Chain A
Amino acid sequence: GAVVSQHPSRVICKSGTSVKIECRSLDFQATTMFWYRQFPKQSLMLMATSNEGSKATYEQGVEKDKFLINHASLTLSTLTVTSAHPEDSSFYICSATGKGYTIYFGEGSWLTVV
């Protein structure tokens, strides 16, 4: 079946540096990809909606200059956390939607900022 892959699954970066997380749809074209963030023992919160070839739409309270999203093709969206700080440490999860209601989630990426 359809698979959404995230890379890396775990990453540790130093405070002040930037880190990129990739989200790929492996066997279907994703018209829309979503980025969620999940803190320990909490729910998933939508950060932004990414449509291929257009600017991402960010949720209220999410800094677009800090969380850069690029959706350059129908199979790849990237999230770059710029000037990362320890409070950005979290579990980042992407999902991809093809036609209709089908939504596929990736396995998530753990970010630890030290």
Chain B
Amino acid sequence: GESVGLHLPTLSVQEGDNSIINCAYSNSASDYFIWYKQESGKGPQFIIDIRSNMDKRQGQRVTVLLNKTVKHLSLQIAATQPGDSAVYFCAENRGSGGGADGLTFGKGTHLIIQP
């Protein structure tokens, strides 16, 4: 079936360095993508989103890139901090009708910030 997957299960970076987390998706009809951060025992925390009519969106220290040609999504975190350590999930809208269709989540990448 359709799925969203991640290339790396664990990513370790030095504090202060930039990190990039990648995600491949398979539903070409999806019109909305979201990156979430999840700390142990907690619900997903919204980081940044992007619609399919865009290829880049920036937030505070984070940038999401969308390449629809190869169905690839990435999350860039600049100047990583210890608080960035968490599991990061990409998610895509299951349909093309906004938020009414539920999300398909990727497998997750555990980002570890080394002091």
Residues on A lying within 8 angstroms of B by beta carbon are: 6, 31-32, 34, 36, 42-46, 49, 91, 93, 95, 97-98, 100-103, 105-108, 110
> Main secondary structure on chain A at its contact with chain B?
strand
Also in contact, A44 and B44, with CB within 8 A (given A32-B99, A100-B99): yes
Task: Enumerate chain A residues within 8 angstroms of B49, measured Cβ to Cβ.
Answer: 101
CB nearest neighbor in A for B1: A60
Task: Enumerate chain B residues within 8 angstroms of A97, measured Cβ to Cβ.
Answer: 98-100
By the criterion of a CB under 8 Å from any partner CB, how many residues of chain B are at the interface? 26
Residues on B lying within 8 angstroms of A by beta carbon are: 32, 34, 36, 41-46, 49, 51, 89, 91, 93-94, 98-108
CB nearest neighbor in A for B9: A41
Output the least CB separation between A44 and chain B (Å).
5
